[in-house]
Every structure is written in structure tokens, then in C-alpha cells.
Amino acid sequence: MIPAIETRKLHKRYGTRTAVQELDLRVERGTVFGLIGPNGAGKTTTLRILLDVIRPTAGETRVLGEDPRTAGPALRRRIGFVPGELRLEGRIRAGRLLRHYADISGPVAPGAIEHLAERLGLDLSRPVRSLSKGNKQKLGLVQAFMHRPELLVLDEPTSGLDPLVQREFLSLVREARDSGQTVLLSSHVLSEIQQAADSVAVLSSGAIVAEGDVASLRLGAVRRVRAGLLSADAIDVEARLRRTGDLGDLEVTSAGDVVRVAGTVQGSIDAFVKALAEFQVLDLAVEEPDLEESVLRLYGEPAEQEVARA
């Protein structure tokens, strides 16, 4: 079967800056594909090329079997798109605007807009300019999903959404996949991709540095950990923790009879937690696997300016 998306040696330069280089991407139909990478990695550039919002410098692109540069509105109607930055102004009410979009995007089932708005918690009677960033994002999602397109291209779709709405969004993505639609979503949040995607490509400085199923990427996850232990002996704590494996930026400081620990753990945290448990643990915080840390650790530093932007 023809894949939903295929690019060959896709290249995009802005002046002297290369945003995307020699990108080979293949997204099979009926799957959820996650494109992840730190800020400036080239995610938005790639997605905009797929929608023909911008043109590549070189390379081939096929979307649903068509070349986006020549396929025109007929192809666009088969795609639901959430751009990274959604600008919505004006006094028009959310529901009216969505019905207007529906006239352009093609048939929308009766009640579909209301159903999606209710699931995401979007008030359709509000003027769009008065919507918060998160509510504008919800409107963008309703617009992308409402005509049940063959392909959904979603750029940072959950930015600004609260956790409950994020969960509902992930359900929508899974339901879309289960009904045969294809979803390509970009994110710089690893956990979101882990929950939603079947396959993943990690982008860094415009190139794919890792690709595979989600389970294999989990191994590379780096977690930031912080703990407070009842002990006066920072040196002993540090020695025991260092024996547990791959730690980064480990800082062990003591204040009175409390030792504070902060650092990053690569891969499994089992040994680290067991080493902590030899002491009386006063508090413990383990943060979500951090994509930035994982990419930097596994694949080296991206360009300096990207680190500064992040």
C-alpha cells in the first residue's frame, strides 16, 4: 500500500541556515507517527512542507500518494492540519468560524462539531478573539478532526492544554487511528508521544537521529531526580548512588542531618531508587523523561543556538 507520507532526501534551507537535511520519512497508513525533537530541530518546517505552506529547497514529498506542490485544494481537503501557531482574531463566534471552515474542508457530519467541542470543553458561543491560548488550540483541533480526514498533521497539538484535555485529545488520536485514519504529530514532550504514537522519529538539527517503535525509545529516556535523605554523610550517599549506574550531573549537598541529591538517571531508575531506600527518604521527585536531555545525551549536542533557544 502507498504510505500516507513519504519524503526522500528532503532539504530546506533558510538563507545559509539548514532547517531540514536529507530527511527520509515514511508514515504508514492507519498508524500514529510521532516526530519529536528539541526546539529548532526542524519539526514545524517538515510539517509545513507536507502541507505546501512552504516549499523545500530539494527532495521529494508524497502525501497520500500526491505531490503537495501540485495537488492543490483536493489534497488539502483530505488532511486535517493544526499549525504550531494558531492566530485567531475577530468577533466571530467559535461555532460560526468552525461552520465556515466546514464549508471549505468538505462534508462534516451533523453534530460532529458540537460533539468534538464538548469532548474538549470548548465553548462554541465565545468570540474567537476572547478565547485563551488553550481554547484557541481546542478550536484548532476541532477544525482538524471534524471532517474525519484521511490524514491528520498536528504540530505541537497539546501546547496550552490542561492535562485532562490532553488525555481526551490522546483518546481522539487513538480513535482516529482505530478507524483507519493516519496521524502525524510533532512534540517536544516525550511522554505524550510515548502514549500516543506507534512509531517515532527523533529529529535533531534537521536530521533524523533515531527511529523506531516507542518501546525502543523508552530505553533512552533520561529522568531528572531529586531527593532529600536523613543522613549526615554526603560522601557515603554519593558513593552508594554512583554505584547504581548511569548518572549525570549528580549533586549531593548536606545541610545539618539532611542530604540533598539532584541529578539525572539514564534508563531504568530501579537501582537508583533501591540505593536511596537504604536511607530514610524525606522526599523524592522523579520528573517525566526529558526529551532534551535524552537527545543531548544519546546523540550529542545540537547547534549552540538551539540550546540557547530551548
Ligand X SMILES: Nc1ncnc2c1ncn2[C@@H]1O[C@H](COP(=O)(O)OP(=O)(O)OP(=O)(O)O)[C@@H](O)[C@H]1O
Nearest approach, Cβ of 193 to ligand X (angstroms)? 13
Compare residues 19 and 131 and give the one whose CB is closer to ligand X. 19
Site for ligand X in 175-194 (CB under 6 A): 188
Query: Contact between 41 and ligand X (CB under 6 A)?
Result: yes
Query: Contact between 160 and ligand X (CB under 6 A)?
Result: no
Nearest approach, Cβ of 207 to ligand X (angstroms)? 11
Compare residues 39 and 244 and give the one whose CB is closer to ligand X. 39
- Looking at 36-44, 106-114, 229-237, 276-284, which segment touches ligand X (CB under 6 A)? 36-44
Query: Contact between 40 and ligand X (CB under 6 A)?
Result: yes
Compare residues 177 and 188 and give the one whose CB is closer to ligand X. 188
Site for ligand X in 111-130 (CB under 6 A): none
State which of residues 10, 32, 36, 37 lies at the interface with ligand X (CB under 6 A).
37
Site for ligand X in 5-24 (CB under 6 A): 14, 17, 19
Query: Contact between 43 and ligand X (CB under 6 A)?
Result: yes
Query: Contact between 44 and ligand X (CB under 6 A)?
Result: yes
Compare residues 196 and 201 and give the one whose CB is closer to ligand X. 201
Nearest approach, Cβ of 54 to ligand X (angstroms)? 8
State which of residues 31, 39, 57, 268 lies at the interface with ligand X (CB under 6 A).
39
Query: Contact between 142 and ligand X (CB under 6 A)?
Result: no
Compare residues 43 and 177 and give the one whose CB is closer to ligand X. 43
Buried b / exposed e over 97-136, threshold 16 CB at 10 Å, is bbeebbeebeebeeebbeebbebbebebeeebeebeebbb
Nearest approach, Cβ of 262 to ligand X (angstroms)? 26
Cα–Cα distance measured from residue 96 to residue 200, given in angstroms and rounded to the nearest whole number: 36
Enumerate binding residues for ligand X (CB under 6 A): 14, 17, 19, 37, 39-45, 84, 188
